[in-house]
Structure 1
Amino acid sequence: MPTTPALLLVRAAHPRQALVTAAALGTAAAVSGRPLREVGLVLVTVLVGQSILGWADDLSDRRRDARHRPDKPLSGGTLEPGTVWFALTCAVLLVVPLAVANGRLAGASYLALLAIAAVGDRLLHARTTSFAPWMASFALYPAFLAYGGWNGVGTTTPPTPVMTALAAALGLGVHLLTALPGLVHDHEEGERSLPLVLALRTGTPRLLVAAGVFTGLVVLGMLVAGRTVGLT
């Protein structure tokens, strides 16, 4: 059965990660007491932003993916790079007003984390410092939520240092877990990302367990911090 370009674009946007991230941020906004319309704005903003990161990742890795993941739309030739570039450009033009609609400080925080995630992953993906953009970008999520509002009017109350530190730690855990399925291909490409270096020393099964436990503890810490010190 032929697949439409729209469905191929959705596949290239890393939809699972986009939906999980948007749902997590939307839930966090709801739990922090934000009105429903602001929760919806957070959901849409993050969903568009994550799609940008997914398309940018597949565009930059399409030659590498052609050697290891020919099932992907871009690497398999079923989706033209020009189509993805057009969708990416439209999404960038959309995410800027969406981010600013959350408030100036919130919008600046979210656009900054997108830039850090996109550029940092591109430059540091194959290095032992691959964790840096993940931790730095995740550390800005509490600021995006704390400063958030509606119709361009946000707040000036910063996030608590505890939540910022825990969010950065969550970025490290997510980086380790999401990198594990592709470590064999990373090794074949001669890369030396932090997850690969750790896996070579400890073994992939042990790293999976350690990363899972670490991430679970960080999430638990965020839940406890949310009920005690709060987001702001």
Structure 2
Amino acid sequence: MARPRLRRRDRQATPTGPDAGSAPDASPAQDTPRGTTLTDEADSPTDPSAGSTGGSTGDPSAGSTAADDVPPPPPAVPRRRFLDATPLLLVRAAHPRQAVATALLLSVAAALADRPTRDLGLVLVTVLVGQALLGWHNDLVDRRRDARHGRTDKPVADGRLDPGTAWFAVACAVLLVIPLSLSNGITAGLLYLVSVAIGVLGNYTLRTGLLSWVPWAAAFALYPAFLSFGGWGNHDGGAAPQPAMTVLAALLGIGVHLLTSLWGLVADHEDGWTYLPLRLGMRIGAARLLALTTTYLALVAAGMIITGTLVGLHA
């Protein structure tokens, strides 16, 4: 009979039974759950090489090579401060306070000795150049030591002032101080040059021991003779100074040595120095030493004024 055969065809054409979802020829789209999109399928890691196309294909070093081809910007040139100009650094390395104070002191002494105005200017310039020479030489001798202690007030030590430039300044000062000294007279000029030579030797010897005061006393003791024998173009020899003035000048040099050493006592102690200012500072303290040194210098200066007023500079 044909009727049962028609019923079997209807079941195959329209699957309605419980096994309909497991038909072998079912479409893959029917297996995809609702809400699944093509983006989700593309994100699935089915292909190991997926995602390697497009902008990330090719040589992996291509991007870095392109970046390397771009030239780097030029390095920024540090702006030099006005205070780091070479002339100003030379002034700082010349120990300007000590140089100016010494030059003014001798100029005032020359004025009290009734020297003419042009002599006062000559004395001022001569002593100023000689003291600057000693300051530059001292910083050159101590540049490694000052750098080790981190001295920021020493342009030669911290590298802002080239040592060759400082040596050139020393050479120029030597060539300048010789004719300036001799312009005060042969005897006076030679005496001042000897005092400068003593200062140079003092930068090398005796400065670390108990006799550190000797170069200072010897150099300052020659200053009264420089003034008494001196004069503009004075070639007649002049006159010797009062012995009392020579002794007082030597004592003044010792006081100046104590005063200028106070600010370096810590570094000198670390280096094992045993000179006079350090020994006194270890015993009585730096503050008391400063007060005593100031009083000492005032008394010596008063003695020089009194001696000059009573007996004068010349013997």
Structures share a fold, TM > 0.5?
A: yes
Match of 2:300 in 1: 218
Match of 1:201 in 2: 283
Aligned counterpart for 2:177 among listed residues 85, 91, 95: 95
Q: Which AA in structure 2 matches 1:189?
A: D
Percent of residue pairs identical: 56
Aligned counterpart for 1:81 among listed residues 138, 163, 166: 163
Gaps of 5+ in 2: 1-80
Q: Distance in 2 between matches of 1:177 and 1:155?
A: 35
Q: Distance in 2 between matches of 1:110 and 1:210?
A: 29
Alignment check: 8 A CA contact 2:181 2:192 kept: yes
Gaps of 5+ in 1: none
Distance 1:51 1:117, change over 3 A: same
The reply on whether 1:49 has 2:130 as its aligned counterpart is: yes
Match of 1:174 in 2: 256
Distance 1:116 1:196, change over 3 A: same
Q: Measure how far apart 1:155 and its partner are.
A: 3.6
Runs of 4+ in 1 over 3 A off after TM superposition: none
Cα RMSD after superposing both structures: 1.1
Query: Any idea what SS the aligned residue of 1:151 has?
Result: coil
Alignment check: 8 A CA contact 1:101 1:153 kept: no
CA-to-partner distance for each residue in 1:64-96, whole Å, 9 max, x for gaps?
110221342101101100000011001101100
Q: Which AA in structure 2 matches 1:185?
A: A
The reply on whether 1:8 has 2:53 as its aligned counterpart is: no
Match of 2:220 in 1: 138
Aligned counterpart for 2:265 among listed residues 179, 183, 204: 183
Q: Distance in 2 between matches of 1:194 and 1:167?
A: 19
CA-to-partner distance for each residue in 1:12-71, whole Å, 9 max, x for gaps?
111111111111111111111000011100000000000000000000000111022134
- Equivalent residues in 2 for 1:12-23, closer than 5 Å: 12-23=93-104
Distance 1:201 1:140, change over 3 A: same
Q: Distance in 2 between matches of 1:27 and 1:204?
A: 30
Q: Distance in 1 between matches of 2:87 and 2:202?
A: 28
Q: Measure how far apart 1:154 and its partner are.
A: 5.3
Q: Measure how far apart 1:209 and its partner are.
A: 1.7
Q: Which has the higher helix share?
A: 1
Match of 2:194 in 1: 112
Q: Distance in 1 between matches of 2:297 and 2:231?
A: 29
Deviates more, 1:180-189 or 1:118-127: 118-127
Q: Measure how far apart 1:152 and its partner are.
A: 4.9
Query: Any idea what SS the aligned residue of 1:110 has?
Result: helix
Q: Measure how far apart 1:200 and its partner are.
A: 1.1
CA-to-partner distance for each residue in 1:193-222, whole Å, 9 max, x for gaps?
110011112222222222111111000000
